[in-house]
Homo-oligomer: A and B are copies of this chain.
Amino acid sequence: MNLDALYSELTLKANAKLALVVLDGLGDVATREQGYVTPLEAAATPNLDALAKDSAQGRMFPLGPGITPGSGPGHLGLFGYDPLEYQVGRGVIEALGLGMELLPGDVCARANFATLDTKGVVTDRRAGRIPTETCEKLCAMLAAKVKKIGDTQILIQAGKEHRFVVVFRGKNLEGPLTDADPNREGFAIPTVKPRDPKNAGQNKMAKLIGDFYKLALPIIANEKPANGFLMRGIAHQPHLPLFEDRYKLKPAALAVYPMYKGLAQLVGMKKIEGPRTIKEQFERYLAEYDNFDFFFIHYKYPDKYGEDGNFPAKRKAIEEFDEALPILLRKKPDVLAITGDHSTPCVIKGHSWHPQPVLLHSPYSGCDKLERFTETGANCGSLGLFEAKYLIRLMQANARLFDKFGA
């Protein structure tokens, strides 16, 4: 029997409120240049500190040691889905990030406008990073002329700069496919192929991509510099077991950015629209307290400023979070977990592999004798270092939602 099956077997249905609060990119590293503190350590966080006194702490790695996850695997792990088992294509993630509403079976591709020479060789994979407005214009041109191929509907959505997304909505379509992208300049756009040559849906989809190129390339052939495009991460929206079935908890998502709403929706969480700030998110949590059992609350800014390498802004984002925290605590959930989906160290200016700190608070979490919630303190917490996919299992345990195993 595997562990996942055991968890299912032991899962009880009971009344409990659980809240998973994700400070995106929370973890950081203390370097000499930053005075040997992390933004979390440098921040004034009286409310987190008070909570830490009655909480357990630890550190989590999103996947294997050393692996840096994107937002997709980072969040799937937090939702308790093994990111290696449940892979979400980049096309799907991009589409979710642009706020597109996906249907089961949709195949998504992330695309770049690019520059091709007269022989069709890629000379600039990003077409000189054209302005977003140009991208929007080009996407509108494509969308106006390519609406359907056979019985398959084509949806095109512009992103930032040279980026856009193409969604194929039709019958019996499947991914993943190889990329229509040489991944470097000086080569022609390769023809996409099914990853599994025997898969009928992938074969149909590969042919569709070829047809799409035939129709779309002539439309922008005379544009400069974006006279071509590349497509990557072509895959269908994966079938994920529903969160509510898996944990017997009715889940809601309080996120501001589309990608996190989308990721929550992938596992069947109810998107709650409206709040624009962490204060508004917490206030909405209070209002929705009785309507759900599990709340996923996403706060973007530590990641955003970590990506910028902006230490003071990341610290301040954490302080603003801390200031809002008492709103949530007005109706304290039975179990509260505060963590990141990954680390985004300022020194890296991007996602990283460093384990993110986690704080777990419940009447049964105990106290780790730590005065604050910090990366360094979490190293000595009772939760140890563990895979992020187990956090939800610890939350279930702390909510007394597991039966005992064996006599």
| Cα separation A352 to B365 with both chains bound (whole Å) | 11
Asked if B347 and A364 make an inter-chain contact with CB atoms under 8 angstroms apart, the answer reads: yes
Residues of B within 8 A of A83 (CB): 405-406
Q: Smallest CB–CB gap between A368 and chain B, Å?
A: 6
Which of B28, B68, B385 is the one whose CB lies under 8 Å from A404? B68
Asked if B70 and A405 make an inter-chain contact with CB atoms under 8 angstroms apart, the answer reads: yes
Task: Check A230 for interface membership: any CB of B closer than 8 A.
Answer: no
Do A345 and B366 contact each other (CB < 8 Å), given the known contacts A384-B59, A386-B385?
yes
Asked if A367 and B65 make an inter-chain contact with CB atoms under 8 angstroms apart, the answer reads: no
Asked if A345 and B364 make an inter-chain contact with CB atoms under 8 angstroms apart, the answer reads: yes
Task: Check A106 for interface membership: any CB of B closer than 8 A.
Answer: no
Interface of A is mostly: loop
- Please give me the residue from chain B that is nearest to A387 by CB atom: B65
- Please give me the residue from chain B that is nearest to A394 by CB atom: B66
Asked if A394 and B29 make an inter-chain contact with CB atoms under 8 angstroms apart, the answer reads: no
Residues of B within 8 A of A407 (CB): 70-72, 90, 93-94, 110, 233
Residues of B within 8 A of A316 (CB): none
Residues of B within 8 A of A88 (CB): 406
Which of B110, B382, B384, B405 is the one whose CB lies under 8 Å from A68? B405
Asked if A390 and B69 make an inter-chain contact with CB atoms under 8 angstroms apart, the answer reads: no
How many chain copies does the complex carry?
2
Among the 9-residue stretches A120-128, A278-286, A373-381, the one with 4 or more Cβ atoms under 8 Å from chain B is A373-381
Residues of B within 8 A of A365 (CB): 29
Asked if B364 and A352 make an inter-chain contact with CB atoms under 8 angstroms apart, the answer reads: yes
- The number of chain A residues with a CB under 8 A from chain B is 72
Task: Check A312 for interface membership: any CB of B closer than 8 A.
Answer: no
- Please give me the residue from chain B that is nearest to A382 by CB atom: B379
| Cα separation A28 to B354 with both chains bound (whole Å) | 27
Residues of B within 8 A of A385 (CB): 383-386
Asked if B386 and A376 make an inter-chain contact with CB atoms under 8 angstroms apart, the answer reads: no
Q: Smallest CB–CB gap between A305 and chain B, Å?
A: 18
Residues of B within 8 A of A157 (CB): none
Q: Mark A119-142, 1 if CB is under 8 A from B, else 0.
A: 000000000000000000000000
Task: Check A30 for interface membership: any CB of B closer than 8 A.
Answer: yes
Do A406 and B90 contact each other (CB < 8 Å), given the known contacts A353-B397, A382-B354?
yes
| Cα separation A53 to B36 with both chains bound (whole Å) | 9
Task: Check A54 for interface membership: any CB of B closer than 8 A.
Answer: yes
Task: Check A217 for interface membership: any CB of B closer than 8 A.
Answer: no
Task: Check A31 for interface membership: any CB of B closer than 8 A.
Answer: yes
Chain A interfacial positions (CB closer than 8 Å to B): 1-3, 6-7, 10, 28-32, 36, 38, 53-54, 59, 63-73, 83-84, 87-88, 90, 93-94, 110, 233, 345, 347-348, 350-355, 363-369, 375-376, 379-386, 390, 393-394, 396-397, 402, 404-407
The list of the 9 closest CB pairs from A to B, nearest first, reads A29-B366, A384-B385, A66-B397, A66-B393, A70-B406, A65-B390, A93-B407, A90-B407, A73-B406
